[in-house]
């Protein structure tokens, strides 16, 4: 058991139950809550999310959580966004009009767009197991991806992807059709993961453990 | 040409607390406990688990919720649950029990706005629409509801287009004609659908060999749901002594320790090796 108090933000959207199951399997104790006080006082924070960007920001706003999350991110304690939770870390998204995000990482969320031939074989959303890879050897040491081999398969479900302004923040890349995109990002204590580690087998769930152990 | 990674999805039909398997969605045989099968498939490299509560519209759902909750503790791949989901609250309960996606058929055909509302509330990627198709004498495929029991008169192609517009994230298409027969997938049905929608398509019904899977993928499937082919290779591994006469479905198959000789025993690993050998990408 790792003695850290990990909070998963409950804002009515998403996969918090499966994240909490995965965490408990690798020895992390989690609390699912939307209470700003509990969030502030946690040792580590997870922002999950499934669904639409605009609705998610609206829910966080209604729960008065936007400043709470921004303040937490400044403390240097581990903060992790999963799937839509990763996308919310950025400035804005073009999902159904333009929406403002948390603005913790410079960059924008774009929709997958492909020139398709008939029959249309590039499916949107991308729902599949896909590979993640690095471009610099040892790039994953001391990160949540330590112990994951290059080109490992992870489970993805998304129609939008993040494009950080500063490419050096990209932790892993993935490829969908001919598009290479950022499948995880790390800026100091803030990590964003586009795929679902909690649904990516034993390899995936260990990411939660390493995220806590290796946070720098 | 771009190569997608095909998903091998194990399909578990549930009746009460038991895993069952029928033919054309009828004549149910009890094969064991769904939790045993799900864990075994997870450990053997399945990409996804699909639970279908096949009599959910007739009975209460408590045993299904228990099965999902039990499974979600030990299985870290996507879990889809279908069968009798009629309201937003039904979906919410199943997701809170540990499912990642839900599959909707009957309620969506009766009220298409339900699909729209569900996709809006939970996100498209959470909503799978199940289509149960039977070929008509005029050659058209029509949608059926209540596990292939009731005809709706709705043409499958038209409905597939419509559910994509309504916000479904995925379609699982069952050929009721082929279901449980192990005669091979309905290729014509699969190509009809894959030519008109851009959301992923899971195909189900009729897989009896590895080559059937390859043919389905070539016809445009993004994932293949497999039941009989794997279940009959698997059921004898578990201790089923707790399953008694009180339980649901036809027990004679398990009780007589019947041998199903029509199928060669097969594993998920063998399926994936075969696909890779045939230049079809998948996770391994």
pLDDT digits (tens, 9 = 90+) for A47-104: 998 878 888 999 999 999 999 999 999 999 999 999 999 999 999 998 767 789 999 9
Q: How confident is the model at residue B280 (pLDDT cuts 50, 70, 90)?
A: very high
Q: How confident is the model at residue B140 (pLDDT cuts 50, 70, 90)?
A: very high
Q: Is the pLDDT of residue B59 over 60?
A: no
- Could you tell me if B165 lies within 8 Å of chain A, comparing CB atoms? no
What's the complex ipTM?
A: 0.93
Instruction: Write down the domain spans for chain A.
Output: 2-93+104-213
- Could you tell me if B123 lies within 8 Å of chain A, comparing CB atoms? yes
Average pLDDT over residues A28-56: 93
What is each CA distance from A72 to A1, A170, A215, B5, B8, in whole angstroms? 24, 22, 15, 38, 40
More confident of the two residues B146 and A46: A46
A205 within 8 A of A22, measured Cβ to Cβ:
yes
Contacts of A116 in chain B (CB under 8 A): 198
Measured between its terminal Cα atoms, the distance across chain A in Å is 20
Residue B23: what pLDDT? 77
Q: Strands A190-193, B7-15: parallel, antiparallel or unpaired by DSSP?
A: unpaired
Upper half-sphere CA count for residue A87 (Cβ side, 13 Å): 29
Q: What is the pLDDT of residues B199-225, one digit of tens each?
A: 999 999 989 899 999 999 999 999 999
Q: What topology does CATH give the domain A2-93+104-213?
A: Rossmann fold (3.40.50)
What are chain B's domains? Answer: 7-277 (3.20.20.70)
Residue A185: what pLDDT? 98
Residues constituting chain A: 216
Residue B259: what pLDDT? 56
Residue B232: what pLDDT? 84
Distance CA A201, CA A86 (A): 20
Q: What is the pTM of this model?
A: 0.93
DSSP annotation of B79: E
Q: How confident is the model at residue B248 (pLDDT cuts 50, 70, 90)?
A: low
Residue B81: what pLDDT? 95
Q: How confident is the model at residue B148 (pLDDT cuts 50, 70, 90)?
A: confident
Place of tokens 């490992």: A152
More confident of the two residues A79 and A116: A79
Residue B221 tokens, joined:
């499937």
Give the burial string for A75-93 (b: 16+ CB within 10 Å, else e). eeebbbbbbbbbbbbbbbb
- Closest to A128 (Cα-Cα) out of B48, B156, B256, B151: B48
Contacts of B198 in chain A (CB under 8 A): 116, 120, 122-124
Q: Strands A170-176, B150-155: parallel, antiparallel or unpaired by DSSP?
A: unpaired
- Mean pLDDT, chain B, rounded, equals 88
Q: Is the pLDDT of residue B133 over 90?
A: yes
Q: Is the pLDDT of residue B174 over 60?
A: yes
Contact A124 B100 (CB under 8 A): no
CA A160 from chain centre, in angstroms, equals 13
Q: What is the pLDDT of residues B76-129, one digit of tens each?
A: 999 999 998 999 999 988 988 889 999 999 999 999 999 999 998 888 889 999
- Could you tell me if B126 lies within 8 Å of chain A, comparing CB atoms? yes
3-state class of A53 per DSSP? helix
Q: Is the pLDDT of residue A46 over 60?
A: yes
Distance CA A105, CA A103 (A): 6
Average pLDDT over residues B171-175: 96
Number of CB pairs, chain A paired with chain B, less than 8 A apart: 97
Q: How confident is the model at residue B249 (pLDDT cuts 50, 70, 90)?
A: low
B103 within 8 A of B223, measured Cβ to Cβ:
no
Residue A165 tokens, joined:
């302004």
What is each CA distance from A43 to B129, B216, B275, in whole angstroms? 40, 49, 45
Could you tell me where the beta strands, DSSP code E, fall in A22-177?
A: 28-33, 44-47, 79-82, 90-93, 99-100, 105-111, 126-132, 152-158, 160-164, 170-176
Q: Is the pLDDT of residue A115 over 90?
A: no
Distance CA B172, CA B52 (A): 12
Q: What is the pLDDT of residues B225-246, one digit of tens each?
A: 999 889 888 887 887 777 765 5
Contacts of A129 in chain B (CB under 8 A): 5, 7, 47, 282-283
Residue A26, phi then psi, degrees to nearest 5: -100, 15
Q: How confident is the model at residue A155 (pLDDT cuts 50, 70, 90)?
A: very high
């Amino acid at each position: 058991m790792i003695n850290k108090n990990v909070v998963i933000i409950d804002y009515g959207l998403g996969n918090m139950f499966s994240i909490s199951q995965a965490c408990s399997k690798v020895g992390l104790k989690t609390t699912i809550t939307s209470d700003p006080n509990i969030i502030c006082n946690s040792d580590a924070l997870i922002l999950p999310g499934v669904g639409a960007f605009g609705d998610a920001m609206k829910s966080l706003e209604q729960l008065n959580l936007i400043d709470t999350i921004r303040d937490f991110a400044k403390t240097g304690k581990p903060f992790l966004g999963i799937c839509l939770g990763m996308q919310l870390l950025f400035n804005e998204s073009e999902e159904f009009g333009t929406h403002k995000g948390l603005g913790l990482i410079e960059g924008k969320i774009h929709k997958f767009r492909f020139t398709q031939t008939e029959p249309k074989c590039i499916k949107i959303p991308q729902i599949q197991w896909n590979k993640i890879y690095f471009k610099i050897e040892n790039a994953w040491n001391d990160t949540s991806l330590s112990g994951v081999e290059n080109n490992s398969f992870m489970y993805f479900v998304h129609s939008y992807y993040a494009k950080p302004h500063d490419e050096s923040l990209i932790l892993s890349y993935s490829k969908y059709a001919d598009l290479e995109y950022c499948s995880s990002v790390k800026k100091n204590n803030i990590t964003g993961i586009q795929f679902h580690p909690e649904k990516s087998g034993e390899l995936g769930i260990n990411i939660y453990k390493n995220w806590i152990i290796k946070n720098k | 040409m771009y190569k997608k990674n095909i998903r091998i999805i194990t399909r578990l039909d549930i009746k009460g607390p038991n895993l069952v398997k029928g033919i054309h969605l009828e004549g149910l045989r009890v094969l064991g406990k769904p939790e045993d099968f799900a864990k075994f498939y997870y450990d053997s490299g399945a990409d996804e688990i699909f639970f279908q509560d096949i009599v959910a519209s007739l009975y209460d759902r408590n045993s299904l919720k228990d099965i999902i909750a039990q499974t979600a503790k030990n299985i870290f791949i996507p879990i889809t649950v279908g069968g009798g989901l009629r309201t937003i609250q039904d979906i919410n309960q199943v997701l809170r029990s540990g499912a990642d996606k839900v599959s909707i058929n009957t309620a969506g055909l009766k009220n298409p706005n339900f699909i729209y509302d569900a996709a809006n509330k939970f996100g498209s990627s959470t909503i799978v629409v199940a289509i149960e198709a039977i070929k008509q004498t005029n050659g058209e495929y029509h949608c059926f509801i209540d596990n292939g029991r009731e005809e709706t008169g709705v043409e499958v192609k038209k409905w597939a287009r419509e559910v994509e517009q309504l916000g479904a994230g995925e379609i699982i298409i069952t050929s009721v004609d082929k279901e449980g027969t192990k005669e091979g997938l309905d290729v014509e049905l699969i190509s009809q659908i894959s030519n008109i929608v851009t959301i992923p398509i899971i195909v189900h019904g009729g897989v009896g060999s590895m080559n059937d899977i390859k043919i389905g993928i070539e016809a445009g499937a993004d994932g293949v749901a497999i039941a009989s082919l794997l279940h009959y290779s698997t059921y004898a591994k578990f201790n089923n002594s707790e399953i008694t006469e009180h339980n649901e479905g036809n027990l004679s198959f398990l009780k007589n320790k019947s041998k199903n000789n029509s199928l060669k025993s097969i594993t998920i690993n063998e399926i994936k090796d075969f696909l890779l050998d045939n230049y079809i990408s998948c996770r391994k």
